Structure formats: structure tokens, C-alpha cells
Amino acid sequence: MTRPITLFTGQWADLPLEEVAQLASKWGYDGLEIACSGEHLDVWRAAEDDAYVAERLAILEKYGLSVWAISNHLKGQAVCDDPIDDRHRNIVGSKVWGDGDAEGVRSRAAEEMKLTGVVARKMGVDTVVGFTGSSIWHYLAMFPPVAPDTIEQGFDDFAARWNPIMDVFDSEGVRFALEVHPSEIAYDYYSTVRALDAIGNRAAFGINWDPSHMVWQDIDPAQFIYDFSDRIYHVDCKDTKMLRQDGRRGRLGSHLAWDDPRRGWTFVSTGRGDVNWEECFRALNHIGYQGPISIEWEDAGMDRLHGAPEALQFVRTLQWNLPEGMFDSAFTQD
């Protein structure tokens, strides 16, 4: 298979884009999934300044890299979240945060997501990856008792806030790929079905498949690919390691930091966890996914300068060509 392998720059936003591009090129990546954070891509500036967009693209060209998707996880998170608090102040930037008024933050985050669709088209990109946030995630435990209408209102709120964003994406010919993830409107199988239904199953809204969030929830990542085959718009590779169960370690993490040995699971570099990558890549082959394979490097116990090139080499072993015919067809030859 010739699907390009890219490096997601979100975990590298402390470095200038050019430095990340230089590293990725040296390691052999085909391109970057550029995050709209740090210095990497200023959406508001890019929407108004064509020279700035050209300068961003020139950095990639200088190092022989391409871009197939951009990411705006952090601002997307604020579109639906309730409450809006200091967690958001730390990730959305001063322009979106403004005076911190919750509805103002949501409104400005939505405006940036609309602009992200515009900027994607200016960059020749068809897919924006990100989060949606959720006004009902904090009801996960369903206690104190939560009325069904409250959950329904959460999905209605999501649709009301994201449909206008998707209208802009439609006008630009760009798709949004939600990373199914805890704290989003879709975080597992059934919440994904419900979210897609809530937004009318419109074509502009799809999925960024990241198996790391499925493994610890006991969701089959390969089956997820088959079930949502027409909605897999982007692929992020991140791994999860389930730690030894000793009767103390829980699925919900106990408010412990990543890689704390008391956790029940933790994120690890791609290829070093419990994701059955071969089964998943066979599923991607089966549904005919031809988009980028992006490595999202997260491992609290490994330096990223070791993890990122190692993960690339691992993923390359999964990019085999499909056979031209069935192996048993040779048995019937004269």
C-alpha cells in the first residue's frame, strides 16, 4: 500500500514548524498532520493572509513533505463543552478565550472551526481532524440520576452548534473527522452512532479512527472500522497498554498521571501496546481506506525523539501491497 505516513504535530507544538518538519523529513515521514496550535498554524492569520499560507507550505516543500490533513482539536473542544473553565483557558489561546465568558468562548471557538475549513481549502487539504466537546460528558456516571431528556438535549446542542460549522465545510469541499475520544460527544460505539444520527448523518462529518481510546474501553478497533467504514475519514495511530490487573487498578485512571504504575492503562508509542495493528490494517485495507496514516506520538515513558522514528518504521511494516488475485487461483492453472 502507498498510503502516506504523517506525523501529527500537536505533541510537538513547543517547537517551530520548521524544526518539526526537519526532524520528520530526516526520519522518513511523508508529511505532517499540522496542528492549529503553537507556532505551527494560526488559523485567523491564515484566513486573511495568503502569503502566510504560502510560507507554511514552503516549509513543508523545503523538506520534501506534504500535508493531507490539519488538526484543530483544542478549539473544537470548546465548541460544546460545559462547563468552560480554566482548563480551556490553557488550550484555546487568548483570541478564543477573550473575557472568559462561557458562551463567548464557545462562539469564538465555533468561528475558528469555520475558518479552519476555509484555511484547509486554501492549503489544498480535504480533511480537518479534531474534537467537538460535549455538554453532557460530565454525566458519564449517570448519577445523580440523569433524565433521558437531558442526554437528548446534549446531542441536540451538539447538532445545533456543529451544523453551521459543517455548512462552511460543505461550501469549501472539506470534511471534518472527529476523533472518537473521552470527553467528546462521541466516545464509544453507541455514542458515535447517536452523534452521527444527531447531525443527520451529513457527509461532511466523519471519524478520525484512533484505536488507543477504544482498547481501554473494551471496544474492538477493527470492528469499529468495519461498522463505520463509510465514515473513516482519517487515521491516527496511537497505542494503549493495559497494565497488570491486580484488583486495584481501574479503567478510569484514579486521577493518576500518565505512566503512573498504579494506573490500569496508559498510552504508549505505536507498536508497543495492546492494539492489534495487523488486524486493524487488514480492516483498513478491506474498506479501501486510502488516506494518510498519521502517527500521534504519546508515551510518558519514552522520549519522543526515540518514539517517533521507531513508530514510523513499525507502521511501514503494515503497509504491504494487496495481492492481484487469490492465493489459491494458482492451483487451477493448466
The structural domains of the chain, with segments of one domain joined by +, span 5-324
**27-31, 130-134, 250-254, 314-318: which range is least confident on average?**
250-254
User: Model's pTM, two decimal places?
Assistant: 0.96
**String of b and e for 290-321 (b: at least 16 CB within 10 Å)?**
ebbbbbbbbbeebeeeebbbbbbebbeebeee
Q: What is the pLDDT of residues 180-235, one digit of tens each?
A: 999 999 999 999 999 999 999 999 999 999 999 999 999 999 999 999 999 999 99
CATH 3.20.20.150 for domain 5-324, yes or no, is yes
Q: Which residue, among 112, 105, 113, 110, has the nearest Cα to 176 in the 3D structure?
A: 113
Q: What is the pLDDT of residue 205?
A: 98
pLDDT value of residue 327: 58
**Beta-carbon count within 10 A of 110 CB:** 21
Has residue 328 got a pLDDT over 80?
Answer: no
pLDDT given for residue 246 in this prediction: 87
% of the chain surpassing 70 pLDDT: 97
Distances (CA, A) of 83 to 136, 149, 245: 10, 19, 34
75 has pLDDT over 80: yes
Mean pLDDT of the chain: 96
pLDDT of residue 1: 60
Lowest mean pLDDT among 37-46, 127-136, 248-257, 276-285: 248-257
Confidence of residue 115 (pLDDT cuts 50, 70, 90): very high
The pLDDT of residue 4 is above 70? yes
Please say whether the beta carbons of 290 and 4 come within 8 A.
Answer: no
Dist. CA 133–CA 185, nearest whole Å: 6
Region for residue 255 given its phi and psi (left: phi exceeds 0; alpha: psi -120 to 50; beta: otherwise): left
